[in-house]
Amino acid sequence: MSANGAIAEAVKGENFVHIIDFQIAQGSQWATMIQALAARPGGPPYLRITGIDDSNSAHARGGGLDIVGRRLFNIAQSCGLPFEFNAVPAASHEVMLEHLDIRSGEVIVVNFAYQLHHTPDESVGIENHRDRILRMVKGLSPRVVTLVEQEANTNTAPFFNRYLETLDYYTAMFEAIDVACPRNDKKRISTEQHCVARDIVNLIACEGAERVERHEPFGKWRARLAMAGFRPYPLSVNIKPRCSDQLERTKANAPDT
């Protein structure tokens, strides 16, 4: 919600918008964005979305990126928004400039949602793809780059510290799930078995290139982005109240313990 709010504010009044999503998965983030842009005063822009995805997401989705493209195209068509989808079936560290189909005159937006921590850096091998991707994106002169990541330090931390970080982070997640969904809920069971459990096993049991879950705290992300030439941009006043309201409702629904 915060990422979409920042993007909508950044492209206000623009006629040609290109969103590059480095982990599009099901594409669900963009349904509300398409609807919001379609309802924009003065008419909708021409929207292009480049969806980048790896084989793991394709397996979870049950098919290739054409599924996402068709879904988003149907939403855009129902709203009367001119739309184009560019599929890039690749892992983030495999993405090169030529995959992105950059065109003159368009405003570029880049979205990193739970993706950059999967991109290997200098702690994995001699090629630091994490920083390479950020420098490549900076070279596109994007209007805004949104970063959504877990607040945990599991990238270069020693095993015991990594274990404690993992325990702390995922205990909070399981407690939240326990409040939100009954234990016999099929979606909850599937999420816990195929997503959360897989992440925990990878964090604890794997090392080297096999460990792809490599979270970093905000301070490290800020340093990486600054080294790539980015500067932080404050959340707008339109986003903060909604986030605060969501936080208050979450607190209100939390158990007393």
Query: Contacts for 216-220 with beta carbons within 8 Å, 24 or more apart?
Result: 216/117, 216/149, 216/152, 216/153, 216/155, 217/151, 217/152, 217/153, 218/149, 218/151, 220/153, 220/155
pLDDT tops 80 at residue 23: yes
- For the chain, how many residues are written? 257
Beta bridge partners of 48: 18, 84
Tens digits of per-residue pLDDT, 158-196?
999 999 999 999 999 899 888 989 999 988 888 888 788
Please give, one letter per residue, the 3-state secondary structure of 19-71: EEECCCCCCCHHHHHHHHHHCCCCCCCEEEEEEEECHHHHHHHCCCHHHHHHH
- Look-up of token digits 């080294």: 227
The predicted structure's pLDDT at residue 61: 65
Domains of the chain: which residue ranges?
2-149+216-252, 151-213
Residue 117 has pLDDT above 70, yes or no: yes
Burial of 213 (0-12, 13-18, 19+ CB in 10 A): buried
Note the pLDDT of residue 93. 86
d(CA 100, CA 86): 8
pLDDT of residue 235: 77
pLDDT digits (tens, 9 = 90+) for 3-15: 998 999 999 999 9
Question: Count of alpha carbons within 13 Å of 252, Cβ hemisphere only?
Answer: 6
> By the 8 A CB rule, do 7 and 144 touch?
yes
* pLDDT tens figures, 45-73: 999 999 998 866 666 667 788 899 999 99
CA 103 centroid distance within chain? 23
May I ask the CATH class of domain 2-149+216-252?
Answer: alpha beta
Question: 3-class DSSP state for residue 232?
Answer: coil
In the prediction, which pLDDT does 249 show? 42
The answer, yes or no, to whether residue 84 has pLDDT greater than 60, is: yes
pLDDT given at position 142? 96
Percent of the chain at pLDDT > 70 equals 89
